[in-house]
Amino acid sequence: MTRNRLFSLSTLAFTAVLACELAQAAQAQSAPLAATPPMGWNSWNHFAEKVTDADVRAAADALVSTGMRDAGYVYVNVDDTWEAGRDAQGNIQTNSKFPDMKALADYVHARGLKFGIYSSPGPKTCAGYEGSYGHEEQDARTYAAWGVDFLKYDLCGLRDLIDLYSPNDAAKASAMMRDAYLKMHLALVKTGRPIVYSLCQYGADDVWQWGEAVGVNLWRTTDDISDSFRSMALIGFSQAGLERYAKPGHWNDPDMLEVGNGGMNADQYRTQMSLWAMLAAPLLAGNDLSKMDETTRSILMNKEVIAVDQDKLGQQGSRLGPLQTWVRPLADGGKAVAVFNFVTDDVPQPVTLRFKELGFTGPVHARDLWAHKDLGVLSDAYTVTPPQGGVVMLRVWK
């Protein structure tokens, strides 16, 4: 064998490997990100600015030991307050609560989980920490090098700049905001690492109409949720009408779960879990996973409700008429139906579901997703009485 032949063989092998790698990279790029609403945990609702590396590791461990990871909760997302300033080259630094972000990401990945982080398109984040303004590509490269799989990008500091530059020019302000989100999307794509992109600007400027165009996978539709029935219900029930904007890869985000944080009772937390599933909303637990009681665990881990949230059709549910009855079409041709009792001082009221009005002809099969009970074959109607602040959720099929 001549030298030349050897050379051309190795060149061929190299070319084949390269082609294979390029194909894999292209596949990774084109594999749909957030094909179903992202599920996981985020530090903000419980830990807020106090979150530390140790809290995040404990959350990752708990996702595994409780079975939540296997139920689909895979993202471990560090929210605001991990940032310090920048070094002389402009690289973002972590503060003393997070001594080594790459090591933390490795810890999370080693448990079969994915790692998420937070920043702002402005100079400062909402909590006043360092934002990505002017360093978008550099930060995206840093995130990719750390092994980040999810970025929440929160307007805050940029809102102040927008106000400064175009206080009375709504069109210009809107363009600035869209540009800022597109800029980070392009920076993330350039890294070659698939990173779920979560936009947070509280629903301003009808973000559901342009979120997809600037490359985001989920967009917050409202102001921050808090751990009260009033806040949760106002946010959740206000989502009616947004269903046409959600689809695989692009989701309305009515903010994170408060289940287990203590401000609502079990029926009310079942309402949040059910409503978020009907809305095809991201399911990001916001409680201290290392100290969960059995009720909280059973709510977060209701696999039948999770299956509705994660249904492959990806069609967000709609409200049926003025009462809080919601219907969501499912990939198998069936429907999820949830009846809520959402006025806190309301006494439980019976609500009769008529299957014809839900789009079925003739008898249907039904299953109660909280009672975990088959209801058998039902002819034309079924009456449910959700408890105060609570819900009855069914799966109905032919």
At residue 40, φ and ψ (nearest 5 deg) are: 170, -140
Number of shown-chain residues binding ligand GLA (CB under 6 A): 9
Please check whether residue 114 is in contact with residue 108, taking contact to mean a CB–CB distance below 8 angstroms.
yes
* Helix (H) or strand (E) run with residue 170 in it: helix 170-191
Nearer to ligand GLA, 279 or 327 (CB): 279
Min separation Cβ 341 and ligand GLA, Å: 28
Min separation Cβ 185 and ligand GLA, Å: 19
List 61, 205, 224, 368, catalytic entry: 224
At residue 216, φ and ψ (nearest 5 deg) are: -90, 150
Active site residue 149: no
Of 62, 68, 200, 246, which lies in the binding site for ligand GLA, with binding defined by CB under 6 A? 200
Nearer to ligand GLA, 80 or 288 (CB): 80
With contacts defined by CB under 6 A, name the span among 122-130, 131-139, 365-373, 386-394 that binds ligand GLA.
122-130
Min separation Cβ 77 and ligand GLA, Å: 10
Nearer to ligand GLA, 201 or 341 (CB): 201
Instruction: Give the residue from 173, 132, 176, 134 showing the smallest Cα distance to 154.
Output: 132
In 4-158, beta strands by DSSP E: 39-42, 75-77, 83-86, 92-94, 114-119, 150-154
Please state, in angstroms and as integers, the Cα–Cα distance from residue 63 to each residue in 164, 195, 232, following that order: 43, 21, 24
Exposed (0-12), middle (13-18) or buried (19+): which is 358, by Cβ within 10 Å?
Answer: middle
Stretch 22-61: interaction string toward ligand GLA, x if CB under 6 A: ----------------------x-----------------
If phi > 0 it is left, if psi is from -120 to 50 it is alpha, else beta; for residue 81 that is: left
Nearer to ligand GLA, 44 or 326 (CB): 44
Please check whether residue 236 is in contact with residue 270, taking contact to mean a CB–CB distance below 8 angstroms.
no
Stretch 60-79: interaction string toward ligand GLA, x if CB under 6 A: -------------------x
What type of residue is 344? T
Residues 149-168 that bind ligand GLA (CB under 6 A): 154
Q: HSE (CB half, 13 Å, CA atoms) of 81?
A: 13
- The 8-class DSSP code of residue 331 comes to T
Kindly state whether residue 124 participates in binding ligand GLA, applying the rule CB under 6 A. no
With contacts defined by CB under 6 A, name the span among 121-129, 180-188, 295-303, 306-314 that binds ligand GLA.
121-129
Active site residue 224: yes
Of 127, 161, 204, 240, which lies in the binding site for ligand GLA, with binding defined by CB under 6 A? 127
List 80, 154, 253, 311, catalytic entry: 154
Sequential DSSP letters for 226-264: -SSHHHHHHHHHTTTT-GGG-BTTBEEE-----TTSSSS
Write out the residues near ligand GLA by the rule CB under 6 A: 44, 79-80, 125-127, 154, 200, 224
Catalytically active residues, by annotation: 154, 224
